[in-house]
Each structure stands twice: as C-alpha cells, then as structure tokens.
Amino acid sequence: AQSVAQPEDQVNVAEGNPLTVKCTYSVSGNPYLFWYVQYPNRGLQFLLKYITGDNLVKGSYGFEAEFNKSQTSFHLKKPSALVSDSALYFCAVRDPAGQNFVFGPGTRLSVLP
Amino acid sequence: EAGVTQFPSHSVIEKGQTVTLRCDPISGHDNLYWYRRVMGKEIKFLLHFVKESKQDESGMPNNRFLAERTGGTYSTLKVQPAELEDSGVYFCASSSGSSYNSPLHFGNGTRLTVT
C-alpha cells in the first residue's frame, strides 16, 4: 500500500529566504505526486504535480518541487518565501494502479517577517 | 466555474444524533471523493464515487457512515448515530474524467463536532 511521510510538523523560515517542505513516499510502480496547500478555514488547493518527465516541476505561486526517484522524495521548494505563504502543506501520492489519493500528515509553514 | 461546495460549514451535535453532510462537486466531474481529517492528523480517504456508483468505499470506518450520490450529481454523507470520535473536518473533492493525473478540487470542508 502506498504511504506518504512529511517528517516535519512545522517549518519556520524568514521572509525572503528559500524554503523547503519535505515529502517522502512509498508506492509500488511509478508514482503520481501532488502538493496541496490549505489556508485557514479553506479547502485544499492544488499547487503542482509530478507525473513523468522533468524531475523539477513548477507550480502555482512560485512553488516548485523536485522528484527524486532514488530517494523516493518530492520536496516542495520556493526560492524566496513570502509571509502569505504561511499555511498547511500536504503532499499526496496516487498509485497509477488505483484511483485513491493518499495524503501525508501535513507540514505547517510559518514565514516570519 | 463554481468550485466544490460543502454544507454545512460547521455542525455541532450530541453523541447519538444524526448528521448529514452535503457536497456539490464541480459540474461535470464524475469523480467525487470524501476525506476526513481527525484531530489534526493526516487526511484519510473515506470513499470514492464514479458518477452514482461507489468505486471504493474501503475507507469508511463502520456502518454508522452512509454515503450516497443519487443521480451522479451531489453527494451526502450521513453519520448515524454519531460518536465522539467522529469529530473532525470532512472534505469533499471532485475530479474530471478517468485520468489518473487529474488533481482533486476540494471544498472548504465541514467541521463536525460531536459532544
């Protein structure tokens, strides 16, 4: 069965600094990987996905993520953090053989001014 | 396009009562999913509809939970009778077609509190 781990409950970064939110996964076969963001009292919003091709994928709001097959990781990155990036971030994996998404526990990102 | 809408946004009920949550997916989306997040933990899958059919209900915790999607449009999730451990945020999501790389579109969730 597939699973997703986000090893950090909380990530703090100063505004203007680069940020990384970590995600590792376990799935049989080639994974479909996703990042979602949740702002307070809102639903999850899609940020980006990796399906195939270039290991570095770019998404909304200046975010990008790097797929690393050997390390089974899909870390979310942004070169320069904004205070408005403060939110809860979820990594998710979808097994191509199935139709269900499996989510990680979430990482709370706080960008300090 | 209108997004996924969920009603109510909040519900507070007593143990033993019944609650029905509603989800209206994005028009034309065949796939509808229910998830829940309990006590700030991971988001857990409950079930998946394709049109009006239950494709996968392996995540439904027990028979106190009943989901329906009559006509393949909106869906309801009924909890009867509710227990304390059912408290959490219930999310509905939809996606189009049968493509496995289609992202999910989420509603804002229903926060259920059972007292």
Q: What are the pLDDT digits (tens) for B18-73?
A: 999 999 999 999 999 999 998 778 899 999 999 999 999 999 999 999 999 988 89
Tell me what pLDDT residue B40 has: 75
Q: How far is Cα A43 from Cα B25, in angstroms, rounded to an integer?
A: 13
pLDDT surpassing 70 at residue B98? no
- Residue A85 has phi, psi (to 5 degrees) of -80, -10
What mean pLDDT comes out for the span A91-98? Answer: 80
In chain A the beta strands, taken as DSSP E runs, fall at: 3-5, 10-14, 19-21, 24-26, 32-38, 44-50, 56-58, 64-68, 73-78, 87-94, 101-103, 107-112
pLDDT at B92 over 90: yes
Q: Is A108 on the interface with B (CB under 8 A)?
A: no
pLDDT for position A31: 86
* Residues of A whose CB is below 8 A from B41: 105
Which among B6, B33, B103 has the least Cβ separation from residue A46?
A: B103
